[in-house]
Amino acid sequence: MSNVKPDEVETQTASAATSKRKGHFKRFWWAYLLGFIVVATVVVVPLVLLVAVPRIAQQRLNGATLTIDGISVRNTQTNSFVMAINSTIEADDSVYATIDAFEGTLYLADVDPPLAFAQIEFPRTTSSAMQTINVTQEIQISDQNPLTAFNTALLSSASVKVQIKGNTHIHVQGISRSFPAIFDKTVTLTGLNNFDGLSISDPSINAISATNNFNGTVHIPNPSVLTLEIGNTTFTNYFNGEEIGQTYINNLVLYPGDNTFFTSADIAQLPIINALTQEPFCELQGRLPFQLSGKDVVNNGQVLPYFRDALATNNQSITIDLSEAVENLGIPIECVASSSN
Ligand SMILES: *[C@@H]1O[C@H](CO)[C@@H](O)[C@H](O)[C@H]1NC(C)=O
Ligand SMILES: *[C@@H]1O[C@H](CO)[C@@H](O)[C@H](O)[C@H]1NC(C)=O
Ligand SMILES: *[C@@H]1O[C@H](CO)[C@@H](O)[C@H](O)[C@H]1NC(C)=O
Ligand SMILES: *[C@@H]1O[C@H](CO)[C@@H](O)[C@H](O)[C@H]1NC(C)=O
Ligand SMILES: *[C@@H]1O[C@H](CO)[C@@H](O)[C@H](O)[C@H]1NC(C)=O
């Protein structure tokens, strides 16, 4: 016994302990497995639930494309209107998820910082790869300015960027809890581009009357997907930099595509007669360039500042061919020497 070195004693003791531990493990392996499962469940599952799944859910939401198929602004009143949006959301369908209903804020994204102009309740959407979301809602106008800014951009630009943003929750199939997510999409809408293509056909002139002495059919192209109930609209007319009268369009509702309305006007006769017969405008042979800018918008007795001011922001150019109407009155369209020879 005495020749056993202390080192060996230790080794023997250690190996005895090892085999003892091995036996313990063999008998209690299930406890270790259970422990491992508990640790895995406690640590890994929440990690998946708290980090991976929400990230996947948010990624799914980020990857989805929102398409605006149509927007209508109807029943327009001074302090409210009814907005309807038809839209389509297309998502990658590898993850089945539901997006909770949420309040989305609509921003004009062409300005920095983006300007909130309306709020819409979006309904809950299910997990299908492609889903239409149609909402109709009355919107109370708390501030005319942002709405006017949006309408100005819509009417005067070729395109306008709209951001729709809101906090929501996502439910992923098979997991009972939901995860917070941000719905944030920016869409580009075609604008009315300052009424590019505006024209008047069949103009009719009354040379005797000082008021209601012009009418015709106005053609207003609307390349956007928006329907706008504007109402009774008055424009100020300019010719050669001077105010020459007012133009009226009643019951103006712009639908996507081409729109035609009856229009009438009170026009000062003298500047027009002079232009038709004197240099330089007589060279145009009756095709005179006018400018229009919005003056009043009243819909069923309600003043609509958010359309009136948007229409007043710019001049819309329009060339009216008066040759036929003027010739019908027996007035020759030709350059005549100024009487002050
Ligand atoms: C939405 O779609 C419905 C059904 O096609 C249609 O009647 C409605 O006018 C559309 N609304 C808008 C705002 O585009
Ligand atoms: C939603 O709008 C689309 C047009 O964008 C239309 O085809 C669909 O029928 C509408 N759905 C409902 C329920 O109005
Ligand atoms: C306006 O149009 C009508 C036809 O709708 C025509 O009879 C009338 O003479 C026109 N008025 C003026 C002032 O040109
Ligand atoms: C429109 O044109 C007229 C005449 O040139 C000018 O007096 C007026 O200020 C212009 N309006 C706008 C909004 O630019
Ligand atoms: C437009 O004006 C006419 C004539 O004053 C009126 O009869 C009509 O109700 C008005 N329309 C709207 C939409 O306000």
Per-10-residue mean pLDDT for the chain, 341 residues long? 47 61 78 78 66 79 91 97 94 75 96 96 82 94 96 97 95 82 95 94 90 95 98 97 97 98 94 89 92 97 97 94 86 73 42
Instruction: Provide the β-strand partners of residue 299.
Output: 302
Q: What is the Å distance from ligand 3's center to 292 Cα?
A: 21
Give pLDDT, residue 341.
Answer: 42
Give pLDDT, residue 2.
Answer: 45
Q: What is the Å distance from ligand 1's center to 86 Cα?
A: 6
Q: What is the chain's length?
A: 341
Give pLDDT, residue 10.
Answer: 47
- For residue 290, the ligand closest to its alpha carbon is 4
Atom of ligand 4 nearest to the CA of 243: 4
Q: What is the Å distance from ligand 5's center to 233 Cα?
A: 10
- For residue 208, the ligand closest to its alpha carbon is 3
Tell me, using a 6 A CB cutoff, whether residue 70 lines ligand 2. Answer: yes
Cα-trace Rg, the chain: 36
Give pLDDT, residue 9.
Answer: 46
For Cα atoms 239, 242, 247, give the angle at the middle one, nearest 5 degrees: 60
User: What is the C-alpha separation between 216 and 41, in angstroms, rounded?
Assistant: 77
297 and 231 in contact (C-beta within 8 Å)?
yes
Q: What is the Å distance from ligand 4's center to 331 Cα?
A: 30
Q: What is the Å distance from ligand 5's center to 32 Cα?
A: 84
Tell me, using a 6 A CB cutoff, whether residue 78 lines ligand 2. Answer: no
Q: DSSP letter for 123, please.
A: P
**Residue 36, phi then psi, degrees to nearest 5:** -60, -45
Q: DSSP letter for 195, please.
A: G
Tell me, using a 6 A CB cutoff, whether residue 204 lines ligand 3. Answer: yes
Instruction: Provide the β-strand partners of residue 122.
Output: 102
Cα 108 off chain centre by? 7
Tell me, using a 6 A CB cutoff, whether residue 206 lines ligand 3. Answer: yes
213 and 266 in contact (C-beta within 8 Å)?
yes
Query: Residue holding tokens 């929501």?
Result: 168
- Each domain of the chain, given as residue ranges in start order, spans 59-190, 194-329
* Ligand 3, atom 7: closest residue by C-alpha: 204
The topology (CATH level 3) of 194-329 is Immunoglobulin-like (2.60.40)
Spatial CA neighbour of 60 closest among 122, 127, 105: 127
Query: Residue holding tokens 């979006």?
Result: 122
DSSP-based three-state secondary structure for 44: helix
159 and 190 in contact (C-beta within 8 Å)?
yes
Q: What is the Å distance from ligand 5's center to 75 Cα?
A: 14
DSSP-based three-state secondary structure for 283: helix
- For residue 71, the ligand closest to its alpha carbon is 1
Tell me, using a 6 A CB cutoff, whether residue 103 lines ligand 2. Answer: no
CATH of 59-190, one of 2.60.40, 2.60.120, 3.30.420, 2.40.128: 2.60.40
Helix (H) or strand (E) holding 53: helix 53-63
Show the beta-strand stretches assigned E in 206-309: 214-222, 226-239, 242-254, 257-267, 287-299, 302-303
194-329 shares the fold of 59-190: yes
- For residue 123, the ligand closest to its alpha carbon is 2
* Ligand 2, atom 8: closest residue by C-alpha: 132
Q: What is the Å distance from ligand 2's center to 133 Cα?
A: 8
**Is the bond preceding 280 in cis, omega lying within 30 degrees of 0?**
yes
Give pLDDT, residue 287.
Answer: 93
